[in-house]
């Protein structure tokens, strides 16, 4: 039963990881009432799973990599719950909950030497994985272009440069909102795409996919993407600095794409 409880915990952590995004980034406080209870229930099921495992083995400490990952995930989930209760914010869950999901995927679905068939893993999930990430990349590129247009429009206004025709470029506030909303649209797409890809890769490559250079760069890209949204929303970053920030994230995307040549999981091969 301990494995079942752990899988239920992974599902609840996943729900919390998705719910925390609108609560923390999109100013949707109602989603907090989903994120925090889901994470708390996940923590309870996770704790029960670990307790049953240790009691059955008559020991008090983890003895292998899978159990250590599970313990670390439990601590991260507990840290999120404590921070949310103490400071009345779920912002820390933007990072802690997805990491918790990734750490518990291997112990839950590749425990020991068991083999687990994924009846839902098929071509449709690969297509969904690729489509979501491409949507996130497109949103990031749109944000970058909007930031560049912001610079152009700002310069024209400062120089009182007459536009070729009325309305050729929208107002600065509109351009800035386009840039920000593009990022807000792309983050859920990137998060879902990476999580789906993680589950699919576990079936095809096993736990070794966490050491894959494409996977590591993808996680770095997700962190940079999330930080960019946080910085833009909380510092009012605009203009040239916003272009620099978007350009950095876009170059990370190019690095991730280039890493296909070094990746055993993502390398494209001819049929």
Residues 84-110: tens digit of each pLDDT: 888 888 878 888 898 899 888 877 776
Nearest-10 Cα torsion for 206, 208, 211, 214: -40
What's 163's DSSP letter?
Answer: P
Instruction: Flag whether pLDDT at 80 surpasses 50.
Output: yes
Residue 114: predicted pLDDT: 40
The residue among 202, 153, 158 whose CA lies nearest residue 178 is 153
Average pLDDT estimate for 117-130: 65
Find the length of the chain.
271
Between 267 and 138, the higher pLDDT residue: 138
Is 0.75 topped by the overall pTM? Answer: no
Residue 45: predicted pLDDT: 96
The residue among 184, 188, 185, 200 whose CA lies nearest residue 129 is 200
What backbone phi and psi angles, to 5 degrees, belong to 15? -60, -45
Q: In this structure, are residues 161 and 178 in contact, taking their beta carbons and an 8 Å threshold?
A: no
Q: Select the CATH number that applies to the domain covering 2-109 from these four: 1.20.120, 1.10.10, 1.10.1760, 1.10.101.
A: 1.20.120
Instruction: Flag whether pLDDT at 112 surpasses 60.
Output: no
Residue 271: predicted pLDDT: 35
Between 112 and 49, the higher pLDDT residue: 49
For residue 201, give every residue at least 6 positions away whose Cβ sits within 8 Å of its Cβ, in sequence order, or none.
Answer: 209, 212, 215, 265
pLDDT band at 205 (very low <50, low <70, confident <90, very high): low
Q: In this structure, are residues 102 and 218 in contact, taking their beta carbons and an 8 Å threshold?
A: no
Q: What is the mean pLDDT of the chain?
A: 77
Identify the weakest region by mean pLDDT among 75-84, 99-108, 224-233. Answer: 224-233
The residue among 11, 12, 25, 10 whose CA lies nearest residue 188 is 25
Average pLDDT estimate for 29-51: 93
- Distance from C-alpha of 177 to C-alpha of 196, rounded to nearest angstrom: 29
Residue 169: predicted pLDDT: 61
Between 167 and 79, the higher pLDDT residue: 79
- Distance from C-alpha of 19 to C-alpha of 28, rounded to nearest angstrom: 10
């Amino acid at each position: 039963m301990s494995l079942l409880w752990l899988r239920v915990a992974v599902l609840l952590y996943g729900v919390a990881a998705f719910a925390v995004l609108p609560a923390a980034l999109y100013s949707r406080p109602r989603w907090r009432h989903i994120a925090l209870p889901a994470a708390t229930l996940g923590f309870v099921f996770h704790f029960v799973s670990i307790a049953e495992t240790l009691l059955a083995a008559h020991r008090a400490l983890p003895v292998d990599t899978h159990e250590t990952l599970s313990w670390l995930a439990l601590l991260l989930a507990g840290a999120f719950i404590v921070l949310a209760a103490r400071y009345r914010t779920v912002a820390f869950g933007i990072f802690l909950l997805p990491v918790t999901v990734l750490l518990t995927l291997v112990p839950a679905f590749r425990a020991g030497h068991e083999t687990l068939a994924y009846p839902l893993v098929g071509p449709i999930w690969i297509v969904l994985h690729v489509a979501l990430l491409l949507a996130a990349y497109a949103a990031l590129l749109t944000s970058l272009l909007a930031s560049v247009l912001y610079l152009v429009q700002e310069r024209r206004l400062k120089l009182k440069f007459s536009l070729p025709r009325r309305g050729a470029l929208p107002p600065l506030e509109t351009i800035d909102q386009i840039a920000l909303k593009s990022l807000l649209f792309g983050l859920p797409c990137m998060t879902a795409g990476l999580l789906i890809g993680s589950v699919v890769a576990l079936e095809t490559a096993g736990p070794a996919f966490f050491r894959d250079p494409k996977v590591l760069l993808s996680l770095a890209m997700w962190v940079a993407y999330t930080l960019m949204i946080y910085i833009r929303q909380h510092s009012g970053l605009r203009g040239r600095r916003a272009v620099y920030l978007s350009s950095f994230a876009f170059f990370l995307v190019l690095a991730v794409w280039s890493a296909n040549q070094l990746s055993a999981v993502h390398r494209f091969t001819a049929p």
